[in-house]
Structure 1
Amino acid sequence: MPGQVGPIDSEQEGLLAYLAQMRYVLKLTAHGLTEEQLRAAPSASPLSVGGLIKHCVSTEENWISTVRGGDQKPDFAAYQENFALADGETIEDVFARYDRAATETEKTVTEIDDLGYRIPVDHSVPWNSKEMDHFTLRYILLHLIQETARHAGHADIIRETVDGATAFPLMAAAEGWPETPWLKPWIKD
C-alpha cells in the first residue's frame, strides 16, 4: 500500500480507505521486530507496539459490534488485557484477527450503505456525551480513524525508541522501495 490513500469516489469509500491506511501504518510499526521487541515498553507507560495493535483490533471489533446491535457495556478486564500480547500470542495472530475485523467492518458498512445510520448511545459510561442520543455510522468510522491514527503515533514513538526505525523507512523496507538520496529503506541490524 502506498504512503497515501489513492483516488476515492464517495465518502463511504474514503472513510474505509483512510481507516485501511491507518491500520496499515499501525501494522508497519511491527515490521521486523522480534517477539521481545513487540512486547517492549520503553517509555514511562506500559504501552508496547504489539499491545497497541491488539488494542486497536479490539476497539474496531467492539465498535462494529455496537453498529450491529451488540452490547455497548465495556469489559474493563478485557480492556486492560488488550493492551498487551498474551503469553504465546504472536503478532501474526493479532494481524489475522485485525484482518478479520477489517473484513467485518467493510462488510458491515457496505451492507448498511448509509453513513447516517443511527446507533443509540449508551449513557451509562462517562465518556459518551450526554448531548448525543445516537452515533451515526459516519461518526463511528471517523472515530475509528482517529483512534487508530492516535495509536499509530504512539506505536511510531515506541518503535523509534526500540530500534530507531521510523515510518517511511519502514514502509520502504516492507514494500521494497528503492533507496533514494533522501530515503533509505530500514534494514534490520
Structure 2
Amino acid sequence: MDDKAILHRYLRTRRADLLAKLDGLGEYDARRPLTPTGTSLLGLVKHVASVEVGYFGDVFGRPGNLDLPWLADGAEPDADMWATPEESREQIIELHRRSAAHSDATIDELPLDAPGEVPWWPEERRHVTLHQILVHMCVETAQHLGHADILRELIDGTAGQRPGDPNQPQRSPEEWARHRGRIEAAARDAAASGGRR
C-alpha cells in the first residue's frame, strides 16, 4: 500500500468513527452542547464535512457544489459547529457523505504532489500539496473524533471506538467508579502537597 492509500484509509476510518458517535442517540443528545463553547456531536460532524469541502475542493480548484450557507460571507460566526432545528440529522449525515465522496474523488484523481492553495491561510503557508492537505485532514478529523469520544462518554458512558474495543479497558460501572475515585484521590493528594513529594 502506498503513502496516499495509507493516509486515505486513515481518513476514511476516522470519518466513519466520527459518524458512529451518533449511533443510538436521540435528537437532543446528538445536538446538545456539552462544553462551555457549545460543542455537540452533530456539530462536529457538520464541521468536519464543511471543512473537507474546502480543503479537498476549493484548495485544488475542484468546488464541491454543496450548499454551505453557514460558511458564506456574513453568516453567523461558528454556524458550522452546531445544527439548527431546521437542519435534520439526516441532512447533516448526507452532507458528511457527499463531502467525503467529493474529497475521495479529489484524493483518487490527484497525485500526492498536486499543488493547491489555501486562501484562508497566511501567505507564507498557503501553497500546499495534496499530501499536506491529506495529513492536515487526518489530524483535524482525529482531533474532532477525540472531542466526540469525550462528548459521547459524557452523554451515556460509551467509551472507545465500538463496543468491546480492545484498546479500551473492559470494566464494570463499579470498577470504573473505583478507578475514577482513585484518580480523583491522587489529584487531590498532589494538589494538597503542591505537586511535590
* Greater fraction of residues in helix: 2
Q: Aligned partner of 1:42: which letter?
A: L
Number of residue pairs aligned between Structure 1 and Structure 2: 161
Provide the residue aligned with 2:32 in structure 1.
40
8 Å CA contact retained: 1:35, 1:90? no
Q: Structure 1 unaligned runs (5+)?
A: 1-8, 185-189
Q: 1:156 to 1:182 in 2, by over 3 A?
A: closer
Provide the residue aligned with 1:27 in structure 2.
19
Q: State which of 118, 124, 132 in structure 1 corresponds to 2:125.
A: 132
In the superposition, the TM-score normalised over structure 2's length comes to 0.72
Provide the residue aligned with 1:5 in structure 2.
none
Question: Partners of 2:117 and 2:106 in 1: how far apart?
Answer: 17
- 1:162 is paired with a residue whose SS is helix
Q: Aligned partner of 2:163: which letter?
A: A
Provide the residue aligned with 1:148 in structure 2.
141
Q: Tell me which moved more, 77-86 or 27-36.
A: 77-86
8 Å CA contact retained: 2:52, 2:99? yes
Larger radius of gyration: 2
What is the deviation of 1:106?
1.4
Q: 1:94 to 1:38 in 2, by over 3 A?
A: same
Correspondence 1:1-189 to 2 at 5 A: 9-69=1-61, 75=72, 77=75, 80-112=78-110, 114-122=111-119, 125=120, 128-132=121-125, 134-168=127-161, 171-172=162-163, 182=170
Provide the identity percentage. Answer: 30
Q: Aligned partner of 1:15: which letter?
A: L
Q: Structure 2 unaligned runs (5+)?
A: 64-70, 173-197
Query: What is the root-mean-square deviation of aligned Cα atoms in Å?
Result: 2.4
What is the deviation of 1:132?
2.8
